[in-house]
Structure formats: structure tokens, C-alpha cells
Structure 1
Amino acid sequence: MSVTKTTFGKIGTEPVYLYKITNQNQTSISVLSYAATWQNFEVVEDGEKHSLIEHFDNLTDYIKTPYQVGKTIGRVAGRIKNAEFSIDGIDYQMKPNEGQNLLHGGENGLQYQNFNEAAVDDNSVFLSHTVKGEDGFSGTLKVEVRYSLSEDDEVSITYHAKTDHDTLFNPTCHVYFDVGSENIRQQQLQINSKHFLDVDEGKVPTGKLLTTTNAYDFNDFKTIGQGLKQLKPLRKYEFDDVFVVSDKAATIKSDKRAVDLYTDRNGMVIFTANPKDEAKNKNYDYSSLAMELQTLPDAINHDDFGNTVLKKGAEVSYTNKYQYRKL
């Protein structure tokens, strides 16, 4: 197992580093200090390298992309209705950044920050950032993101935070998977879920759970293209939906390899997109599938969606895991 560190670019005068962890199988993950981004997940099969996630090879594209490719999203992933919430009877008003709502923690979320190196060991990189009241959140939140790669090709991402003021914490990795040489529509998806969230026109959860039927039923493997075809009668042409999951949340696979996704929380967003070609994206010519493991969005405003409150003086850790398998 080895870890290397190189300079990926600069933001102003501040360097952005790329850390590459490689195991005995020559499987590797690359991580950027900018936005604690999962930059690449590469495996070697029969002497050939295969990248399993959408990625850019330069910092400029990571900065300008609206698709948050591979980035750590937070402090709260997803939308918060009207950018407001209450904790213990105290009301908090955030600065909206998508209409009247708050998306992904605001304009100064973790996805726009260059993290500091906290530590590096033989199979892990620890990155840290301290948030101080941006976007209307109170207090100081210290965040650490740990990326690890095991010798059996499992990637773990652990999010740890502590705060000096009551706040919210629900981060995720906005990773986009493309695990095969075939088009993303031909790749197969399985999601262990009986329900997904009903949302309003602003994609904010209404609080209602819907049964995973027809287009939204991935309990047995089916191609992403089949799911998209089943959406057409609903006059929908993309997936941008939240599934209720637990433990082994999902698997995405091609004809040669698979990635199993595990989480200790209760939600997963899937989102079809083409982050590298906006013209193709507008024509629903998708290149990858985002799979974002998190607590259900807007949980603070729905009693049965899970707990995203982090109390003053408290600490919390969440872990998402991604297991590569050759088929």
C-alpha cells in the first residue's frame, strides 16, 4: 500500500494537492484537497486500467462545474425548504441559494473550500476544514474527511464533525459512477429500497413516502436505460430522486465489474447527468449516474427522516463504503 502527494493546481496562491492511494492489486483512488474531492477510482484488470467514476484531469473544470463532480457536499446535502429550520425551539434562517431554498449548505459550502491536510498514513488521507458561520449557520464546525482504500478494493469515506453551537451536519460525496465501457444506459442498477421521496416542483421533499414501483423499482437489477424509458409516460427524462435505504444500499454494474454501495445512514440520491458535455446533457445523453449516500434531505423539517442535528459540544461520524468487484 502506498500514498503519493502531488500538486494538482492552485486557487489564487494556495496549492491544491492530489493524494493517490494504491493497494497491492494496483487499485487506486485519488483525492483532491479542493472540496475533499474523490477525483478518481481506478482498477486494473488483465493489465488494463479502468476508471469507475466521472472525473476531470484539471482543477479549472472542478472549480467551474455546476455538477459538483466527486466533491464533498455540506455541511448539509440536499435542499432545506425555505432555508429555515428550528432546533430546540430556536429558529434559524439561512441564506437561500436556490430560489427560496438552501441547496447543499449554501454558496460557501464544503464543496467550495480547499481542505487542509490533517494526516496521511499507509492507506488513508485525512483532510480537514473549519467552517465559521458561513451562509447563516451559527458557530464553528470542524470537519474531517477520511478517505481509505483497503487491500480488498473497498473505499471508505468517513465524515467526522464537532461543533461549538447547535447546527446541522449531513454531508455526502457527489460521486458519479460509470463502471463500464458500455453506455451508462446499458449498465445495471439495483437499489435495496421500498420507498422513495415525494418532492414538490422545487425538488424539496413533501414528507410523503412513495412506493418504489415501475420506473423507481430497482429492487431487482435492471438497466438504467430501462428505468429512464419507464419514466417517459410521466414526462420525465432524468432521475433526480431520493431512495430510502440502509446498510447495503445499491449496486451498479457493467458486464465486467460492479461496485456495491454501503451506508450507515438512510438515504441515497440518484441523478443521471453528463457533467462533461452540457449539450448532450440537455438532450438526455447521459454519461454517468450520481449516487449520493446521506441522511434523507430536509430531515430537520420531517420528524421521521432521520437526525441531522449536531448539538453543541457533540461529535458525530458517518461512513460510506464502495466495494469494487470483478465479475
Structure 2
Amino acid sequence: MITIQPFDTTQDGHSVSLVILKNASGMEAHFLTYGAILQRLIIPDKRDYTDVVLGYNDLITYENDPYFMGQLVGRNANRIANAEVVLDGKKVSLSANEGTNHLHGGFEGFGKKIWNVAELDDEVVFSYRSKDGEEGYPGNLQTKMFVKLTEANELIMRLEATTDQETIVNLTRHEYFNLNPQSGEGITKHALQINGGGILPKNENNVPTGEVLRVESTPFDLQELKVLAEPLSELDGGFDHNYVLEKYSAEVPAAVLAAPGGSPKMEVHCTQPGLQFYSAAGIDAVPNKYGAIQGPSPALCLEPQYFPDSPNHPNFPSTVLKPDAVYRHEIRYKFL
């Protein structure tokens, strides 16, 4: 079942709708047309129903939110060093919104835009046209996100983009997950597995050096399901690292997250080569929809994407999109 209804109005007077998808088992996904934000993700579990994503009840808090809470991130997820890329042989300057870096699409990335929405049989499609020159990016970019909620308790999001000029595109989702929010605690007792045997080391500006570091015998080794308390205690500042995925497909998840006690459990499936794991160690507390979740690490993000700073590393998979091509990327959250 799909419902589209009014939600609120932005501070500058734009109407925002609430889009609710619900299946027969009672799972619900609530999206806003502001930022294509996933405001609620309610799953059936042994405690009845649990909303497993952090977020806010009101629009103004999302407008002022500095954490990219629940957003669709674009045009480019993660960081680009010196806010510069070379396209078609020419240097292109992007907005520098994190020191000298370009981060998550700039000062007003896709997560701060109003998206159009339409219902298509058993799914909905969100769409946004990013104009040539927005945040420095060349080309008019048409972006769509198709969203479907299945009876197998899967939330499937298919991302597509086309351009009329050569540009770069690297989209992701930025949900903050906590599978046990009723406790008021963070995610240190959660267990996580990431099917990646390497991470991308970073320099002092928090961008990749271009190398790949094997995770074996390091705190980054999450190739088996592991409670997060120990690796978090071993890393100053926690996790904010991109994993190089080696096993990912419709059958093999990029990551598995389990609540304390093992249930509920979530699988993240994707079609991209990287997964940014952000443990939110710098967030002390979040005024969540149902009361504050205490930090550090009140929740975590698992962001499927191309590698950070890809345009500046020829050995990384390319994020260049040409006018005769279509960018495609699927993200799937499956609950067990």
C-alpha cells in the first residue's frame, strides 16, 4: 500500500509531502520529498514494531540538521580533495564545504532539495533535476530514485541519473541505523559484518591516499560478524572509512547488522564497489523521534558508493558520467 499526503512547509515556503509504503506484515517506509529523506523505517520484530532509523518529527529540524540524516546524497557522496576535478581535459572547481574538501554534494546537496514524487503501480519514483553549475558541477543532471517495499521485508531503492554534459555522479543513502532504539543506547552492542577485505587509508585531510590496506589483524577486520564495542575502543575517532567490497550481489550482502541478542538483523545489498562505514563517534546525542539516543555512536551509517575522491585517483573505479550513458545503482535493506 502506498500513501502520499502533506507533511509540512519549508522555511522558504515549499510544500513537502510524506510518502508511506506499507506491506502486509506491517513494515513501513516513510519518505519525505525534502531530500528524499527516509524519516521512518518500521519493521516487525519480536518486540512488536521498531523504527530502526534515526530522524526527526518536524521539517525544520531536518532543514537545520548537520548530519545528512536519512538523506539521498549527491551529486557526489563523500569527499573530493581540494574541491577540484578534471573533466573533458578541463579543471572544474566545486564548492568547498568542508575546509578545502567538497563533501556530500556541497553546501546544499541533494538532501536539501525538494524532490518530485509519483506513484507507479507497486513503487514510487522520486525525481530531481540538478541544473548545470549547481555546486560547480557541469551538466543538467536528471536523477530518479525508484522505491519499492516487498512482502519479504525488503526496501529496494534503484537510483538512476542522466546528463547532457560530461560530469561526475556518485549517489548514496545516508540512513543512521540503530536496531535497538528503545534502549536509548548507541550501537556499541550491535554486531556488524562487512564483506570487504580492504579499506582506503586516508591522509590528514580525510581523503584517500590511493592505496588499499588489508584489514586482517587490524580493528577494521569485520569480515565475520563482530560486536562493535572492541573495534570502536581501538580506533580513536571511530570508523569513517570506505571498505573495498569483494563479495556483493543480490544473493551476497555487502554488510550485515545485528541488534544485541542477534535480532532483528539487517542485510545491506548493493551494486557499488565501496561501502562507507561511519560509526558517528563524534555525535554525543541525537534528539530522535522518540527521545534522545545517547552517544558516542548513537547509530551508524552504511553508505554504498563509489570510492571517495575517485576523480583524482585513476586506479579507482570511474565516477564520470557521459551524455550517452545512464548511471544505475541499487541499494536494498533486507530484514530478517
TM-score if structure 1 supplies the norm length? 0.92
Asked if 1:308 corresponds to 2:319, the answer is yes
**1:312 deviation in Å?**
2.0
1:252 matched to which residue of 2? Answer: 257
1:60 matched to which residue of 2? Answer: 60
**1:220 deviation in Å?**
1.1
1:7 matched to which residue of 2? Answer: 6
Counterparts of residues 1-327 of structure 1 (less than 5 Å): 2-11=1-10, 12-45=12-45, 48-117=48-117, 119-132=118-131, 133-180=133-180, 181=182, 183=185, 184-213=187-216, 214-231=218-235, 236-245=236-245, 246-247=247-248, 248-254=253-259, 255=261, 256-273=263-280, 274=283, 276=286, 285-325=296-336
TM-superposition CA deviations, 1:112-156 (whole Å, max 9, x none) = 101011x21343221111111211111211111122111101111
User: Residues of 2 paired with 1:57 and 1:81: CA distance?
Assistant: 35
**1:100 deviation in Å?**
1.4
TM-superposition CA deviations, 1:265-322 (whole Å, max 9, x none) = 11111112246159x99x9522101111111111111122212110024222111111
User: Residues of 2 paired with 1:175 and 1:230: CA distance?
Assistant: 24
State percent identity of aligned pairs: 29
SS state of the match for residue 185, structure 1?
coil
User: Residues of 2 paired with 1:34 and 1:48: CA distance?
Assistant: 29
SS state of the match for residue 314, structure 1?
coil
SS state of the match for residue 106, structure 1?
coil
8 Å contact kept, 1:237–1:284 = no
8 Å contact kept, 1:69–1:174 = yes
**In 2 relative to 1, CA 210–122 (structure 1 residues): closer, same or farther, beyond 3 Å?**
same
User: Residues of 2 paired with 1:34 and 1:53: CA distance?
Assistant: 17
Query: What amino acid is the match of 2:317?
Result: G
**1:64 deviation in Å?**
0.9
Query: What amino acid is the match of 2:303?
Result: E
SS state of the match for residue 60, structure 1?
helix
User: Residues of 2 paired with 1:227 and 1:196: CA distance?
Assistant: 15
User: Residues of 2 paired with 1:224 and 1:155: CA distance?
Assistant: 25
8 Å contact kept, 1:178–1:287 = yes
Give unmatched runs, 5+ long, in structure 1: none
TM-score if structure 2 supplies the norm length? 0.90
Query: What amino acid is the match of 1:264?
Result: T
SS state of the match for residue 209, structure 2?
strand
TM-superposition CA deviations, 1:185-241 (whole Å, max 9, x none) = 10100111110011112211110111113210101111111211222xxxx132111
8 Å contact kept, 2:75–2:105 = yes
Using the TM superposition, name which of 121-130 and 217-226 deviates more.
121-130
8 Å contact kept, 2:73–2:171 = yes
8 Å contact kept, 1:238–1:284 = no
**1:46 deviation in Å?**
5.1
Query: What amino acid is the match of 1:114?
Result: I
- Structure number with the higher helix fraction is 1
- Structure number with the higher strand fraction is 1
Give unmatched runs, 5+ long, in structure 2: none
Alignment coverage as a number of residue pairs: 317
8 Å contact kept, 2:268–2:334 = yes
**In 2 relative to 1, CA 195–227 (structure 1 residues): closer, same or farther, beyond 3 Å?**
same
8 Å contact kept, 1:165–1:313 = no
SS state of the match for residue 194, structure 1?
strand
4+ runs of 1 displaced by more than 4 Å? none
**In 2 relative to 1, CA 122–27 (structure 1 residues): closer, same or farther, beyond 3 Å?**
farther
User: Residues of 2 paired with 1:47 and 1:195: CA distance?
Assistant: 36
Please, what is the CA RMSD of the aligned residues?
Answer: 1.9
User: Residues of 1 paired with 2:327 and 2:195: CA distance?
Assistant: 25
**1:47 deviation in Å?**
7.1
8 Å contact kept, 1:168–1:308 = yes
